[in-house]
Each structure stands twice: as C-alpha cells, then as structure tokens.
Amino acid sequence: MNGAQLPILHRLREWWKYISPRLTYVGLWASLAMLMTIIPFTKGETGAVALTTLFSVMLIAAVMTIRGNRRLKLIALFFLILSISARWLSLLTGEIVLETASYIFSSATLAWVTLLLIRSLFQTKIVTSTTVWVAISGYILIGLTWASVFTVLESMAPGSFKDTVLPDTVMNFPVMIYYSFVTLATLGYGDIVPMTQEARGLVIMEVLTGVLYMAILISRLVDTWKPRERVSK
C-alpha cells in the first residue's frame, strides 16, 4: 500500500464512523415503514412470512441503535434471539404460546433499547444532529414497545381491544402499532378502544409516557443547547 492511499483510507474510515450510526436509525425507520405499508397487502401464509421477516428486521434494527457498553448490548441480543427464535418457531409449528412468548421477549428487547437510548440522550453534553436522530428513534421505539405490550395483552386476554369501525379486524401486531402511535401522539381517533380495565391502564401509561417524554426531552435539549450558544458568542 503506497502513501497516497493512506489519506484516502483514513477519510473513508472517518466517513464511515460518521455515517454508520445514522444508517442504523434510518434502518429502524425503514423497517417500521415497510411493516406498515407491506403487511396490509399480504394475506395468508405469505402475509405470515412477511410479518415474521419484517418483525425480525425491525428488532435487529432496534438493537443496532445501541452504542457503547458491550454488556448492555449482550442483554439486548439475548432478548432479541429469544424473540426471533420464538417467532419463527411459532410460524413453523402454529403454536400460539410461542407467538405470545415472542411478543413478550420483543417487548423486553424494545423496552431495553428504548431505555438505553433515552439514557444516552440525558448523558449528552452537546446537541448535535446525532442527538436529534437518537431522540426521534427513542420516540419511535416507545411506540413500538407499547404496541408489543398491547399485542401480548390481546393474545393473553382476547377482546382487550376492539375496532368499533371494523369489528372483524384482527388485533394483531401491525394493528397495534397503528393504535399505539395514535395513542402516543394523543390523537384519539376512537376507532380502536380498550375494552378491559387492564387495557385502559396500559393505554393511560402510554399516554403519560408520550407526554412526559416530549416535555422532558425538549427541556433537556434546550438546556443542553444554551451553553453551546453562549460559547459560540
């Protein structure tokens, strides 16, 4: 390798260090977008395979957003492997228990990754573009976590949620993603409603999570931004 190639390799290495974190966040957003746009158009066995594949990709993308401590990553990987394994075994065997287990483990995976991202937000000293990417990804992960929790509840206690507009709608994970983000954003369309006390309790917790996340996050980012402005002046 000649001397002229070294600066090029160094620049490529620096560019990759800069862009790779952003690619993981884009991967998370893209997997969510594909899940919500592709699944409604797939039915039967094809739909089940597509849902399982995109579900696995989404979890992997979520875990890839973790930065730093290797032990924390290993915990997330442990839950990830359990969730994906249970999901694929459920697809192959048709066991509902395994499907429920996959959503329990996915809830643990998503909740763990969400906590780590929020923790990194409150440890940051300077607001950068990466901070904004992390903040948005944290919001998306909160919605996905609650969607998974709602799916677990519906699986263990069918009828916990009901679509009042389309009563025959199956309350599966993609539907719960829609409902979770509507709830998180406090839109309240009223098409899907919680029917049991347990479901209502979880919905209230998600609403509070969304409101507090936005309030605390904005105050934190503003507080972090001010010292930077003073230094630049």
Query: Is residue 101's pLDDT more than 80?
Result: yes
Q: What is the arithmetic mean of pLDDT over 10-24?
A: 61
More confident residue, 69 or 17: 69
Secondary structure (3-state) at 126 = coil
Residues 42/50, Cβ–Cβ less than 8 Å: yes
pLDDT at 213 over 70: yes
Rounded-to-integer distance, Cα 184 and Cα 210, Å: 5
Q: Round to whole Å and give the CA distance between 47 and 53.
A: 10
Residue-averaged pLDDT of the chain = 83
Taking 60 as the threshold, does the pLDDT of residue 76 lie above it?
yes
> What is residue 15's predicted lDDT score, i.e. its pLDDT?
54
pLDDT at position 9, please?
A: 59
CA distances for 64 relative to 1, 4, 70, 110, 173, angstroms: 33, 34, 12, 11, 21
- With both helix axes pointing from N to C terminus, report the angle between 5-38 and 44-64 in degrees, rounded to the nearest 10: 140
The 10 Å Cβ neighbour count of residue 73 is: 18
What are the tokens at 10? 């160094």
Closest CA to 123 of 226, 212, 220, 214: 220
Domains of the chain (ranges plus CATH)? 22-232 (1.10.287.70)
The confidence score (pLDDT) of residue 232 equals: 44
28, 65 in Cβ contact below 8 A?
yes
Dist CA 62 CA 78 (whole Å): 13
pLDDT of residue 195: 94
Predicted local distance difference test score (pLDDT) of residue 229 = 46
| Share above pLDDT 90 across residues of the chain, in percent, rounded to a whole number | 35
pTM: 0.82
Q: What is the pLDDT of residue 233?
A: 46
For residue 222, what are its two tokens? Answer: 């503003």
Q: Are 179 and 83 in contact (CB under 8 A)?
A: no
Q: Is the pLDDT of residue 231 over 70?
A: no
Please check the confidence at residue 24 and state whether its pLDDT lies above 80. no
Give bridge partners of residue 163 from the DSSP assignment: 192
The predicted structure's pLDDT at residue 226: 54
The answer, yes or no, to whether residue 108 has pLDDT greater than 70, is yes
Judge whether residue 70 has pLDDT over 50.
Answer: yes
